[in-house]
Structure 1
Amino acid sequence: MAHLACISQQLSSIRDLVSGSEKQVFIDGYSLDVPSVIAVARQVHQPKLDSSDNKKNTIAAAVALVAKLSGGEQSQYGVTTGFGGSATTRTKQTALLQKSLLAHCQAGILPVITEGKTLTPEEHDLMFPQEWIRGVILVRLNSLIRAQSGTRWIVIDHLHKFLTHNIAPCVPLRQSVSASGDLGPLAYIASVLTGHEDIYAWHGEGADRKLYNSATVLKNVDMKPIELIAKEGLSLINGTGASAAVATIAVHECHIAAVASQVLTAFAVEVLKGFQEPFNPYLHEQTRPHPGQIEVAANIRRVLLSSNLARTHHVESDPEMKLRQDRYCLRASPQWLGPQLEDILSAQKTMEIELNSTTDNPIVDLDGDFLHHGANFMAMAVTSATEKMRLSVHHIAKLMFAQLTDLLNHTMNCGLPPNLAVGEPSVDYSLKGVDVAAAAYLSEIAYLSNPVSTHVNSAEMHNQSINSMALVSARYTLEVARLTKMLMSTHVFALCQAVDLRAMETSFRKVFFAAIEAEAIAHFPTVTIDAEFMRPLIDRTKILLNTSTDQDSLPRFEFVTSELTATLLRQPTFLAADIRLSAIDQWRVAIAKHGHSLFNEIRDNFVPGSADSGLSLLGRTRMLYAFVRETLGVNLHWGHPSRDSTTIGTEVAKIYHAWDTPAFSQLLVDILEGEVEPAPIPNGGVAKANGHGNGYANGNTNGSGNGYATGSGGGYVN
């Protein structure tokens, strides 16, 4: 399955599960997938247990086999023996042995908790987030119900009731090395089942959701503490449920990052006036047919088809196309992102096997009447998946940063101002701080993306001489995904700022080029001012405008028009005419004055989100622009205290906090899929400025002035 189809299907499944429809997650040991975990963990969807007679009978048979073998002469690990490096001991006190197991695994650091206590942010940082707990319980239930662990139905049923009653045990964030499974985290969850007075859990809804000790929680929901019998403690905690649940949540996050990376890359191609040529299917389908590369190219190509900014191919005569091909961060994006899509899909496949596996030890074999001693708890498969994903998201983040730095650098962004400043560059450094923030995010991402599995330490009497560190790896993968959302939110803000600057540029060029022509006609009546005469002037003006964006507007247009005079004097028809030097200087002064006036008027009257904004220039990415400007209300940064009532960080945060909403994820998919048409560009009053000025920006001639946009110069924009 293609990556886009995969995440689209996931989002659809999550919607179905949380919409109140009849669709429900079914815990049968074989049916869990990524959407199931997301719906239960994050949306508090209530899953259903397979409570068929056949399932209950199979579970009972497994419990009976454990009981039978625990009474035989042959020792059974964790049933009649000690644990780990202490498996040299033997005992017939099977129930007490399970209590001892839980006790020695309750060794993590939690806040000092009392019933009803309100925890500080620092105290929360010591614990699993509650959504993780719900995911862990779901995954562990799905393993236990396979009837290969020897756990009674009452234990499974009570654990399931933790989900139906939204009970979330307090679990230490740090403790597990994910060797013999995630013993510590699962021991805290199992201990709530037993009513341990010093183990706490969240219970209640809304403002009534509080911390209670386990005995009180059980009493609140009419459940009695369970006395665990042979192997049940081991079955509950000796597995990969914690690392698998957190890693599965990370799979979903990484998918969204991969989709976003393609949308943002297409957006970057547009605002940097890049080429569509690198996404031509021949380059990918015929010459290097990696499936991820083919998909990324096709997705970006589809997004750019209706763009008014992205160029179809290089044109040698275009003065803005001196660089023959785009830099790597645009041109090589299919080759860079394609492998990341493939790796994330591979990680999902691994995790969905893990979700539907038995991961404890020993494992009950009913057909063979035997307990198999092995190491299915070793979560290296989870580590492999999360490290693969974490590195993939790092590579995505690196690409986003490379595009962002091109965008903010006026020597590389094809005529946009430095730092995407709307105001005067000498006093407006707009997104310079954004550049630094993005570098900070990427540095942390890069550090966290290093393998965790290469930092294994021997544990537990050297019995766990190798361990997977899967839970730590999953945690770091989620953290990398979170940091990448910060970087991408920053990039989205910059892209929207950039396309609005392009809109101002487009409006300004239209009227300024017309003004150059009109003033030439006025000042040089003996010269034939036609398209052939104007083309060198317009081409040179584009170059001069592009290379002078770091200057304040007044000296900038003095510079541009002064340099343009030399081009004028080289015109053959101009040289043949009898033109006074004073007329040339008057022409230069006039267009410098018009340039400065028009530039400031268009800038001052610009309305983000209007018909004359970036909406008019973008392809399918205008859906994202509209969402940012209209739905989220993210403001353009004007670069002047009189117009900026909020900080740049506040505006970027609006995007970041929207990132996890279903609407935002679906929007990104819709942009790539091409099945939802972008909203029509608004017109009427919303597209108008505040009524000031002379109408130059929209080409009208009913204001004061000449209505320059109606001249032939309007055709020079392209």
Structure 2
Amino acid sequence: MSTHLSCVSAQIASVEAFSAGKIVAAIDGYSVDVPAVVAVSRRSHQPQVDSSDKNKKAISDAVAVVAKLAVGEQSQYGITTGFGGSATTRTTQTALLQKALLAHCQAGIVPAFHTGKILTPEEHDLLFPQDWIRGVMFVRLNSLIRAQSGTRWIVIEGLHKLLQHNVAPCVPLRQSISASGDLGPLAYISSVLTGNPDIYAWYGEGAERKVYDSATLLKKIGLQPIEFIAKEGLSLINGTGASTAVASLAMHDCHILAVASQVLSAFAVENLKGSQEPFNPYLHNVARPHPGQIEVAANIRHVLLPSRLARPHHVESDPEASLRQDRYCLRAVPQWLGPQLEDLLSAQQTIDVELNSTTDNPIVDIKEGYLHHGANFMAMAVTSATEKMRLALHHIAKLMFAQLTDLLNHSMNCGLPPNLAVGEPSVDYSLKGADVAAASYLSEIAYLANPVSTHVISAEMHNQSINSLALMSGRYTLEAVKLCRMLMATHIFSLCQAADLRTMEKIFRSLVFPILRAETKAHFPGVPEPVLNDEFFRLLTNRLILLLNASTDQDSGTRFERVTSDLRSTLLALFETAQVEVPLGAISAWRAVLSKKMLRAFIEMREGYVPGSPESAVTILGRTGALYAYVRGELGVKLHWGTPEKDRTAIGTEIGKIFHAWKTPKMAEVLVGILEKHEGGKL
């Protein structure tokens, strides 16, 4: 069975292949996938319509079936009858009926347009983003070309031409309940083909991209207005194209965030000096073999293997390992994230089917010469998928926040300063505000995680007494994606800050431990050499580690005086155990010299540290070092020093660099690369 990681890796590779022109997305009714939707929507990839003679004949045959049944004695929904709860009416004016359909579905609120109008941010908020529109047209075309809708080739060709010319109809963001498909959004898109002067669309490139009325637009791209015949208007708008396109974009984004959650969890294990023990294969492959749990454990185990921070196993004598097992936000990561991977893969299967389905009503059966009346427009499958995504995002975000709060709390982070302050704690509160911001993001994600489908309201003469709200659910899922990216950007910034602090800690200890040994021997020359042995200094050093870890909330000017004062009692106890008497004056002198030298070493270490250099955190991290190097290097995210002289940009500005990187291919490439196994030197 393929893993979540292999699914995401394949998707990213496909998006890049589409974008580079190595492969071309085909509108053939059967082969559209999520990467194709992403490439068409966000990378301006131009898909090709399968215009084979076989396809054209099938399209023509379906139109002929509709035309024949339109003049028969048996009424046909939306062809000779009214719509929805008004299907009790009958008419022979089939073309006029399609115009009436589009007219009553164009009921959403849009800006007050005129040709060339420059929209305000508030007006933009009333409309679909333009990249969504490209995806919607692409997905709808793939349904129409299946020759089960009864739409002429000229209509399919016209809609495809809009895509080719990068036309984006202006579609109201709010209106659809995704019951009889996404009627409103698709009605606005379809009406551009008719040249309706009150329906507008974006056209042009760069600074020349403007809003034009449909009549003017069609002239600009050399397309004649189309008058829809029997069923064509209904075929165009009665489907799940809008919901499915938006869900596809959300699906891709959620997959990448799920990969990121595993990388950041491994990064958190390192920075909190956690254990690798919870990721042992026996716990997952043998004892509780859920596929997602097995995958997460294996991925994190792989990432941590070369780490110099994460403990391979518990060692009772380790002074920093008094907590026998890590807290849940580290130890239970496989059990927490595993089900989210499984839910996302389930959602992926649903979207894959929906992308290559006929979702209008009635549906043409060419072989039988019949129209099947049903409800394939009901997008509950899409709603189910997006609600899985949104709930998974919440659980991912909750885990990230739990790790972040542990990281910032000096009583829980194994010796890091409060708020990850590099400067003096009395005047440097570093990531305290980021902690509050992260709580804000999580609260909103938690609100959005609630199901949309439980808020269905009966509509349209009680005909649409159940409706899926799939487009609404998709919109909220993409909003949750944005918030999750904000929270993760904050977490990444914090993890990199913590990694630099861990490196400083390592450098400082490498300076201080020899000083401790040298000054102890120098101040107590009368103590026999066998007493000042390795075990003596191991115990003294272990106590120093604990004192240093417990004093990170103190300014350095007084911190080391207090640390050495407390360490003095340990020294006396060790001498007492060894039955050695030493002058009290020598102990006081030892403490005073040690305090000064520790302070000097600390200041010199802090002032000399260069974040992102070859001697920085990359020397102690496992495979997460690639993320650290990307953040400090390519993104140029600065360490927050806690001093105005060094901090020339706001913390939010630096976190923002990471947030904006989510929209670049490189971020996903780095994250997936960290998890992927190397075989024969290749990914």
Q: TM-score, normalised on structure 2?
A: 0.98
Q: Aligned equivalents of 2:680 and 2:412: distance in 1?
A: 32
Deviations 1:131-161 (A, max 9, x none): 1000000010000000000000000001011
Contact 1:320 1:414 in 2 (8 A): yes
Q: Which residue of 1 aligns with 2:615?
A: 612
In structure 1, how many angstroms separate the alpha carbons of the residues matched to 2:20 and 2:210? 27
Question: What is the CA distance between 1:573 and its match in structure 2?
Answer: 7.0
Q: Tell me whether 601-610 or 75-84 shows the greater mean CA deviation.
A: 601-610
* Residues 1:635 and 2:638 are matched in the alignment: yes
The match for 2:447 is 447
Rounded Cα–Cα distance in structure 2 between residues aligned with 1:587 and 1:211 = 79
* Structure 1 unaligned regions, length at least 5: 680-718
Opposite residue 356 of structure 2, the aligned amino acid is N
Give matches, 1:212-231, under 5 Å.
Answer: 212-231=212-231
Sequence identity (%): 69
Query: How far apart are 1:513 and its partner, in Å?
Result: 1.1
Counterpart in the other structure of 1:473: 473
1:335 counterpart residue number? 335
2:567 to 549, 560, 564: 564
**Matches for 1:342-491 after TM superposition, within 5 Å:** 342-491=342-491
Which residue type is aligned with residue 417 of structure 2?
Answer: P
In 2 relative to 1, CA 502–677 (structure 1 residues): closer, same or farther, beyond 3 Å? farther
Task: Name the Cα RMSD after superposition.
Answer: 1.2
Q: Is the 8 A contact 2:111 2:126 kept in 1?
A: yes
Contact 1:568 1:574 in 2 (8 A): no
Offset at residue 15 of structure 1 (A): 1.0
Map Cα deviations across residues 569-618 of structure 1 (whole Å, 9 max, x no partner): 11147753342111100000111111111111111111001133111110
- Equivalent runs, 1:164-183 vs 2, <5 Å: 164-183=164-183
Matches within 5 A, 1:8-47: 8-21=9-22, 23-47=23-47
Look up the equivalent residue of 1:362 and give its one-letter code: P
Amino acid at match of 2:545: K
Q: Separation in 2 of the partners of 1:342 and 1:455?
A: 26
Q: Secondary structure at the match of 1:576?
A: coil
1:253 aligned partner: 253
| Partner AA of 2:85 in structure 1 | G
Give the deviation of 1:118 after TM superposition.
1.1
1:478-515: CA deviation from partner (whole Å, max 9, x where unpaired) = 11011000000000000000000000000001111111
Q: Is 1:651 aligned to 2:654, yes or no? A: yes
Cα distance in 2 for partners of 1:627, 1:418 equals 25
Q: In the alignment, residue 357 of structure 1 is paired with which amino acid?
A: S
User: Where do residues 285-296 of structure 1 align in structure 2 (5 Å cutoff)?
Assistant: 285-296=285-296
C-alpha separation in 1, matches of 2:213 and 2:229: 23
| Separation in 2, partners of 1:42, 1:191 | 24
Q: Residue 149 of structure 1 contacts residue 364 of structure 1 at CA under 8 Å; is this kept in 2?
A: yes
The more displaced of 108-117 and 442-451 is 108-117
Deviation track 1:267-290 (CA, whole Å, cap 9, x = no partner) reads 000000000010011110001111
Matches within 5 A, 1:25-174: 25-174=25-174
Summarize the Cα distance change of 1:404–1:396 in structure 2 as closer, same or farther, 3 Å threshold: same
SS at match of 1:301: helix
Whole-angstrom distance in 2 between the partners of 1:382 and 1:452: 12
Secondary structure of the residue aligned to 1:371 is strand
Name the amino acid aligned to 2:17.
D
Taking the aligned partners of 1:116 and 1:483, their CA distance within structure 2 comes to 33
Which deviations, in whole Å up to 9, do the C-alpha atoms of 1:303-327 show, x marking residues without a partner? 0010000000111111100000000
Determine helix, strand or coil for the equivalent of 1:364.
strand
- 2:678 & 2:663 partners in 1: Cα distance? 22
Report the secondary structure of 2:547's partner residue: helix
2:625 & 2:217 partners in 1: Cα distance? Answer: 50
CA contact (8 A) 1:280 1:301 kept: yes
Distance in 1 (alpha carbons) for counterparts of 2:348 and 2:478: 14
Q: Which residue of 2 aligns with 1:702?
A: none
Is the Cα contact below 8 Å between 1:77 and 1:362 reproduced in 2?
yes
Residue 676 of structure 1: CA displacement?
9.1
Flag the 1:678–1:113 CA change in 2: closer, same or farther, 3 A: farther
| Distance apart, 1:559 and its partner CA | 1.1
Q: Distance in 1 between matches of 2:462 and 2:224?
A: 38
1:154-203 per-residue CA deviation (whole Å, 9 max, x = no partner) reads 00001011111111000000000000000000000000000000100011
CA distance in 2, matches of 1:132, 1:576: 79
Which piece of structure 1 moves more, 179-188 or 361-370? 361-370
3-state SS of paired residue (2:349): helix
Cα distance change, pair 392–677 in 1 and its aligned pair in 2 (3 A)? farther
Contact 1:303–1:674 (8 Å) recurs in 2? no
Tell me the amino acid that sits aligned with residue 147 of structure 2: A
CA–CA separation in structure 2 for the residues paired with 1:341 and 1:348: 10
How far 1:367 sits from its partner (Å)? 1.3
Pick which of 237-246 and 550-559 moved more. Answer: 550-559
In the other structure, the counterpart of 2:603 is: 600
Conserved 8 A contact 2:575-2:581: no
Q: Quote the Cα distance in structure 1 between the aligned partners of 2:475 and 2:266.
A: 30
Q: Is the 8 A contact 1:526 1:577 kept in 2?
A: no
1:690-705 correspondence runs (5 A)? none
TM-aligned CA distance change 1:587 to 1:676, over 3 Å: farther
Quick one: distance in 1 between partners of 2:614 and 2:636?
16
- What secondary structure does 2:132 align onto? helix
Any conservation in 2 of the 1:622–1:678 contact (CA below 8 Å)?
A: no
In structure 2, C-alpha distance between the alignment counterparts of 1:678 and 1:52, rounded to whole Å: 43
SS of 1:468 mapped into structure 2? coil
Cα separation, 2, equivalents of 1:118 and 1:574: 83
- Is the counterpart of residue 6 in structure 1 residue 7 in structure 2? yes
Q: Structure 2 CA distance, aligned partners of 1:419 and 1:642?
A: 20
CA distance in 1 between partners of 2:323 and 2:368 (Å): 71
Structure 2: how far apart are the matches of 1:126 and 1:601?
Answer: 56
Distance in structure 2 (CA, Å) of the matches to 1:578 and 1:279: 49
Cα gap change, 1:596 to 1:677, in 2 (>3 Å): farther
Distance in 1, Cα, partners of 2:480 & 2:681: 31
- Paired residues in the alignment total 678
**Separation (CA, whole Å) in 1 of partners of 2:453 and 2:59:** 35
Alpha carbons 2:417, 2:553 under 8 Å: kept: yes
Mark the CA change 1:678 to 1:450 in structure 2 (over 3 Å): closer, same or farther.
Answer: farther
Residues 362 and 373, structure 1, Cα contact 8 Å, conserved in 2:
yes
Paired residue secondary structure (1:618): coil
Read off the aligned partner of 1:555 and give its amino acid letter. T
1:341 is matched by which residue type in structure 2?
L
After TM superposition, the structure 1 stretch with the greater mean CA deviation from structure 2, 670-679 or 547-556, is: 670-679
Partner of 2:663: 660
Cα deviation, residue 122, structure 1? 0.9
Question: In structure 1, how many angstroms separate the alpha carbons of the residues matched to 2:638 and 2:126?
Answer: 36
Q: Per the alignment, in what secondary structure is the counterpart of residue 571 of structure 1?
A: helix
Unaligned runs of 5+ in 2: none
